C-alpha cells in the first residue's frame, strides 16, 4: 500500500487516473528517482501500453530513455507521444528535450515554445527554455526560467538541480545536497555533483578571478608550443603566478580557467580546495586532480586575484606546461590572431536588444556565427562534406580537428587505423579516419586530408547534448578568431 502523502502527490500530478494507474506511476517514478532508469523505462512503457492517452506515462518513458542514454528509443517514444497527444504541452516539452539532446536547438526551442502556448505552467517547458537561454548566453533569463520550472514542479530533479546551482552560498549547497540524497543517477554524474558541491563550499562567498588590473585593450604575444621537433600543439602565452614563477601555457578555448601540473602548483604555493576528476578525450576515465587557490595570476597587462585553477596530479600534460582557457578574458572581445601570433583583448561592441521571436539562429555560412555556451565549452555549428549540421567544440587546445564515428558515417566512408589519440582521459581505444573531408564552420571551408574519428559519447552525456567533433588548432592556425562570450558569437576570418 502506498503512503497517503504519495497518493496525494500522484493524484495532483496525474489527475483523475484510476487508483491502479496512480500506483503504477508512483512505482515507476520511484524507480526513476533511484537512478534505475532501465527499470523505470520498462515500468512507464507498461503504463502507456495499457493507456495510450497517459501523458505522465509517455513523459516518464521519454525521460527515462534520455537518462539511460537510449537516444533512438527516446526519439521514437517522443514522436509516438506527439502523434497521440498533440494538444499536450508536456508532450511537446518532451519532444523538445529529445531535440536538445540531439543537438538540434532550433527544433528544441520550437517545441518548448509550442508547449508554453498550450500550457504556460508547463514546468518541463520552462526547464527547456532555461537550457536554451543558458546556451545562447542569456543567463538572467535562464535563471528566471529555472526558477519558474522549480516553483511549478518542486519534485522534478532536473529543475531542482538547475535552480539550486544558481542560488547564493550556502543555500546552494544545502539544496544540492538534498537533491543528491533524493535523486540518484550514474556514478560519474554523482561524482561530478559531489565535486561541484565541495568546490562551492571551498569557495564560499568569495568572488573568484577578480581583475585587479584590467586595461581597456591589451595585446599579448603568443608562441608555438612544441614539445619536440616537428610537433606543434598550438600557441601559448606566458603566465606569471604569485610573482614567483613563470610558465608558458597552451591557449585552450576548450578548457576553463587554468590547468597546471602538480609540481608547478607546489612551486607557487597553490592551496588545495577540493578534489576534482579531470575529464577529456580518452577511454581511461577521469584523471586525478584537484582545485586550488592561487592568490595572483598575471597575463600580459591583465592581473587577476583570488584565482581557482585545476591541478593535475601528473606533471606531464601531453607536452604542455599547462592550459589557459580564454574564458578568463570573458569581459573582453577575445581575438586569437594565429598568423600574427597575437592574443588581442578589445572592447565589446554595444549590446543590442533583440526583438527576434527565436533565440537559436539557423546555420548559415557567414563569418559571424552563433556559438553555444556550455560552461567553459563553446559549441560551434559545423558540417563535414555537406552532411547535416553538427555541434563541434571550438578547441584550440586540440592540435587537430576530429569528429565522431557516428557523425562521420553520414559524411563518407570510414577507415580504421592503428594510430591512437591521447587526451586528458588517456588513450582512445579505437580510431578511424574520414579521407578527403571538408570541414565547414562559420564562413570557413577547411579541407582535411584525413579527419580522425573517435568516440566522444562521454562528453555528449556530460553536456546533455550531442557533440559531433572538435575544431582544433590545425583548422584555425591560419585564421583570426574573435569570441564574444557575452553575446554568444564567434567570428572567423581566414587569412589569404
Residue 273 has phi, psi (to 5 degrees) of: -105, -55
Residue with cell 515554445: 113
The mean pLDDT value for 221-236 works out to 89
Structure confidence at residue 3 (pLDDT): 43
pLDDT tens sequence across 81-112: 999 999 999 999 999 999 999 999 999 999 99
Q: Are residues 395 and 341 in the same domain?
A: no
Q: Are residues 58 and 176 in the same domain?
A: yes
Tell me which H or E stretch contains 4: helix 4-14
The mean pLDDT value for 388-412 works out to 93
Instruction: Dump strand ranges (E) for 431-488.
Output: 431-441, 444-453, 469-471, 479-484
pTM summary value: 0.92
Q: Minimal CA–CA distance to 496: which of 473, 472, 480, 474?
A: 480
In this predicted structure, the answer to whether residue 420 has a pLDDT above a threshold of 80 is no
Q: Confirm whether 222 is domain-assigned.
A: yes
Ranges of H-type helices in 136-261: 139-152, 157-165, 171-182, 187-203
Q: Are residues 67 and 173 in the same domain?
A: yes
Residue 496 banded pLDDT, cuts 50, 70, 90: low
**CA–CA distance from 224 to each of 232, 297, 380 (Å)?**
7, 21, 24
Structure confidence at residue 118 (pLDDT): 98
Task: Determine the Cα angle at 202 with ends 297 and 140, to 5°.
Answer: 80
The mean pLDDT value for 392-408 works out to 94
Structure confidence at residue 8 (pLDDT): 37
Q: What percent of the chain has pLDDT over 70?
A: 91
Residue with cell 526558477: 147
Boundaries of domain holding 279: 210-346
Q: Confirm whether 93 is domain-assigned.
A: yes
Structure confidence at residue 387 (pLDDT): 86
In this predicted structure, the answer to whether residue 448 has a pLDDT above a threshold of 50 is yes
Residue 426 banded pLDDT, cuts 50, 70, 90: low
Structure confidence at residue 351 (pLDDT): 82
Number of domains the chain is built from: 3
Q: Confirm whether 52 is domain-assigned.
A: yes
pLDDT tens sequence across 314-345: 877 777 889 999 999 999 999 999 999 999 99
β-bridge pairing 390-394 and 210-213: unpaired
CATH, residue 436: 2.40.70.10
Structure confidence at residue 229 (pLDDT): 82
pLDDT tens sequence across 154-184: 999 999 999 999 999 999 999 999 999 999 9
Q: Are residues 246 and 180 in the same domain?
A: no
- The radius of gyration of the chain from alpha carbons, rounded to an integer in Å, stands at 23
| CB proximity list for 439: less than 8 A, separation 6 or greater | 382, 383, 384, 401, 445, 446, 447, 448, 451, 471, 475
Amino acid at each position: 500500500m502506498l503512503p497517503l502523502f504519495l497518493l496525494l502527490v500522484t493524484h495532483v500530478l496525474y489527475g483523475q487516473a484510476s487508483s491502479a494507474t496512480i500506483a503504477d506511476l508512483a512505482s515507476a517514478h520511484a524507480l526513476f528517482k533511484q537512478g534505475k532508469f532501465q527499470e523505470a523505462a520498462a515500468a512507464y512503457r507498461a503504463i502507456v501500453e495499457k493507456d495510450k492517452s497517459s501523458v505522465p506515462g509517455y513523459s516518464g518513458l521519454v525521460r527515462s530513455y534520455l537518462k539511460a542514454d537510449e537516444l533512438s528509443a527516446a526519439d521514437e517514444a517522443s514522436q509516438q507521444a506527439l502523434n497521440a497527444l498533440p494538444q499536450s504541452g508536456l508532450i511537446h516539452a518532451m519532444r523538445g528535450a529529445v531535440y536538445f539532446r540531439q543537438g538540434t536547438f532550433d527544433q528544441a526551442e520550437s517545441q518548448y515554445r509550442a508547449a508554453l502556448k498550450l500550457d504556460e505552467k508547463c514546468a518541463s517547458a520552462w526547464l527547456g527554455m532555461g537550457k536554451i537561454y543558458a546556451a545562447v548566453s542569456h543567463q538572467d533569463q535562464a535563471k528566471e526560467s529555472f526558477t519558474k520550472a522549480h516553483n511549478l514542479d518542486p519534485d522534478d530533479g532536473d529543475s531542482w538541480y538547475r535552480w539550486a546551482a544558481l542560488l547564493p552560498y550556502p543555500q546552494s549547497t544545502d539544496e544540492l545536497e538534498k537533491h543528491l540524497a533524493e535523486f540518484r543517477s550514474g556514478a560519474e554524474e554523482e561524482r561530478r555533483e559531489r565535486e561541484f558541491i565541495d568546490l562551492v563550499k571551498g569557495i564560499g562567498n568569495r568572488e573568484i578571478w577578480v581583475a585587479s588590473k584590467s586595461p581597456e585593450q591589451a595585446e599579448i604575444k603568443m608562441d608555438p608550443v612544441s614539445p619536440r621537433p616537428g610537433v606543434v600543439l598550438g600557441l601559448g602565452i606566458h603566465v606569471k603566478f604569485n610573482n614567483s614563477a613563470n610558465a608558458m601555457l597552451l591557449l585552450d578555448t576548450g578548457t576553463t580557467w587554468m590547468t597546471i601540473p602538480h609540481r608547478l602548483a607546489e612551486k607557487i604555493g597553490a592551496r588545495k580546495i577540493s578534489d576534482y576528476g579531470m575529464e577529456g578525450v580518452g577511454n581511461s576515465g577521469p584523471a586525478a586532480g584537484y582545485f586550488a587557490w592561487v592568490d595572483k595570476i598575471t597575463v600580459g597587462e591583465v592581473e587577476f586575484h583570488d584565482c581557482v585553477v585545476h591541478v593535475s596530479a601528473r606533471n606531464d600534460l601531453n607536452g604542455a606546461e599547462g592550459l589557459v582557457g580564454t574564458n578568463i578574458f570573458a569581459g573582453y572581445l577575445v581575438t586569437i590572431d594565429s598568423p600574427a601570433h597575437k592574443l588581442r583583448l578589445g572592447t565589446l561592441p554595444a549590446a543590442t536588444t533583440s526583438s527576434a521571436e527565436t533565440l537559436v539562429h539557423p546555420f548559415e555560412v557567414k563569418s559571424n556565427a552563433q556559438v553555444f555556451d556550455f560552461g567553459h565549452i563553446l559549441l560551434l555549428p559545423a558540417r563535414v562534406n555537406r552532411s547535416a549540421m553538427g555541434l563541434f567544440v571550438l578547441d584550440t587546445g586540440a592540435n587537430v580537428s576530429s569528429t565522431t564515428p557516428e557523425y562521420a558515417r553520414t559524411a563518407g566512408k570510414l577507415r580504421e587505423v592503428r594510430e591512437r589519440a591521447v587526451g586528458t582521459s588517456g588513450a582512445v581505444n579505437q580510431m578511424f579516419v574520414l579521407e578527403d573531408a571538408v570541414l565547414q564552420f562559420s564562413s570557413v571551408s577547411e579541407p582535411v586530408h584525413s579527419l580522425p574519428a573517435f568516440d566522444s559519447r562521454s562528453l555528449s552525456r556530460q553536456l546533455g547534448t550531442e557533440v559531433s567533433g572538435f575544431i582544433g588548432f590545425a583548422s584555425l592556425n591560419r585564421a583570426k578568431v574573435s569570441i564574444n562570450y557575452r553575446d554568444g558569437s564567434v567570428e572567423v576570418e581566414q587569412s589569404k
